[in-house]
Amino acid sequence: MQFAPLFPIIYRILQPAFPGCLWSGDRNTKVIALTFDDGPHPQYTPELLAVLDHYNITASFFWLGACVNRHPSIAQAICDRGHWIGLHGYDHRSFPILSPTELKDSLEKTQVAIYNACNLPPAKVRDVRPPNGLFTPKTLNLFQQWKYRPVMWTVVPEDWVRPGVSQVVQRVLQQVQNGSLIVLHDGACGGQDVAASVQILIPQLLQQGYQFITVDALWQQLEVIDKVKIK
């Protein structure tokens, strides 16, 4: 059973309960963030980069530390293009099953891998997307203590089960709206179709007037909105 149609409903329910997460950007501006999990991959990520280069799109990548260690040159190629980098754990184990020590170790090992590959200091890589989107209040409390920023998503086409390029494209176009965080995968599960999916999606989204920005830019948007509310 595929759950893609249910994800928007699930996250609308969860979002108010976990306000410290980044779920979306400003709903009043026509900007979206294109994000990719589970890489870098030796075949799928370069194919994806070629499409992003063609359209001059800056995206955000949430990496597995083990994959960065295996493919440091691809990681560096992503950084060199100015894409935003976040953490997805070292080896895709769900965060709630890890002890606090194991979780901290997973994140720090990934930061070290990124530093070794890209010379990005750990203080610059603080955004975390939990594998499988699974977290608990305890997990989020730990992120806050350790000064990480939890990032979720709003558009989930469930590309990791490989429903087909046309299905992925259709799901994204049906769900996208102002401020959307779109999650796709350039790793072993789903990466086979990611370049083809993005090749179709980007021009259609551009035609609809959307501007692509990074996860960091979405955070900055929300900070501005919060300051305005305080005033």
Q: Which residues are catalytic?
A: 37, 185
Place of tokens 């560096």: 76
The tokens of 168 are what?
Answer: 């992925």
Question: CA–CA distance from 42 to each of 35, 68, 161 (Å)?
Answer: 18, 10, 20
**Other CB atoms within 10 A of residue 194 CB:** 25
Cα 44-25-119 angle, rounded to 5 deg: 50
Handedness of CA 146, 219, 9, 35 (dihedral sign): negative
Sorted by sequence, the CB contacts under 8 Å of residue 4 that are 6+ apart come out as 156, 157, 158, 163, 171
**HSE (side-chain half, CA atoms, 13 Å) at 52:** 24
The tokens of 105 are what?
Answer: 């170790």
Rounded distance, CA 33 to CA 202, Å? 11
Q: Phi/psi zone of residue 133: left (φ > 0), alpha (ψ -120 to 50 degrees), beta?
A: left
